[in-house]
Amino acid sequence: MLFAQVHLDVPIDGPFDYLIGPHHVAKGSIVVVPFRRKKLVGIVESVSDESLVEHRKLKIIESVFNLDPLPTSYFSFCQFVARYYCARLGQVLFLGLPLAIRRVNFLERFSETVFSLTEKGHREIPGSLSSRAFGKKKLFDMFQGQKSITLSQAKSAYSTARAELASWSDKEWITSGQRSQNYEFTSTRKFTDDQEPTIGIELTEPQ
């Protein structure tokens, strides 16, 4: 059984222990956890196989953001700031994060619809395409080469892909679902007018 020590943006000393459950987390992972009667975004400080809290009293991490863990340099700087200003580390950690990440609905706001080919579609689509359906053939070939594709990818192969995907979905040739966009963290260091260093986190989309 594994436990995560999680910092929250609350005026209470942390971290707080949570059961990891079926999730994969590491130091710096951004998670959603139940706290009292609401859900909060948390930052994992560490993972261990022990907890000083009685196990039956612990709650389970509900979800994990599809983001790379926060860099160690960010943790180190925030620990320095927390000690210097006698502040709570949990609140300091959240000060440098983009506002979007501090919200529980981040997974919903930063997700996209993806489409996947079914076995039925794999069998039936080729026979349904006429010899002049070049765009549809290109779209089908894209499905063949990838496990799933987004709407923008589909449009790059076939300009009227939206209508075609709807038709294929009605025929159960494809399925659709939601996937969190994969963003990476980039540490940013700046100097104020009095040359005191500050550090923050930016979200960057991998190229």
Q: CB–CB of 174/58 below 8 Å?
A: no
DSSP 3-state of 181: coil
Q: Domain ranges in the chain?
A: 3-99, 111-180
Chain centroid to Cα 173, Å, comes to 28
Distance CA 192, CA 171 (A): 60
Cβ-Cβ contacts under 8 Å for 71 (sequence gap 6 or more): 28, 185, 187
32 phi and psi angles, rounded to 5 deg: -115, 130
Q: What are the residue ranges of helices labelled H in the chain? A: 72-84, 89-95, 106-109, 119-128, 134-145, 151-157, 161-170
The tens digit of pLDDT for each residue in 41-56 reads 999 999 998 888 888 8
Predicted TM-score (pTM) of this structure: 0.58
Q: What angle do CA 137, 143, 147 make, to 5 degrees?
A: 175
- Which of the residue ranges 3-7, 52-56, 59-63, 203-207 has the most confident prediction, judged by mean pLDDT? 3-7
pLDDT band at 16 (very low <50, low <70, confident <90, very high): very high
The tens digit of pLDDT for each residue in 134-192 reads 999 999 999 988 888 888 888 888 888 888 888 898 899 998 765 655 555 554 444 34
Q: Is the model more confident about 207 or about 43? A: 43
Q: What is the CATH number of domain 3-99?
A: 3.40.1440.60
Judging by DSSP bridges, how do beta strands 16-19 and 3-8 pair with one another? antiparallel
Burial tier of 82 (Cβ tally within 10 Å: 0-12, 13-18, 19+): middle
Q: At residue 12, does pLDDT exceed 80?
A: yes
Which tokens belong to 199?
Answer: 């550090």
Give residue 66's pLDDT: 74
% of the chain residues with pLDDT over 90: 26
What is the DSSP code (8-state) at residue 23?
A: -
Least confident piece of the model among 33-47, 72-86, 121-135, 164-178: 164-178
Mean pLDDT of the chain: 81
Give residue 191's pLDDT: 38
Give residue 188's pLDDT: 47
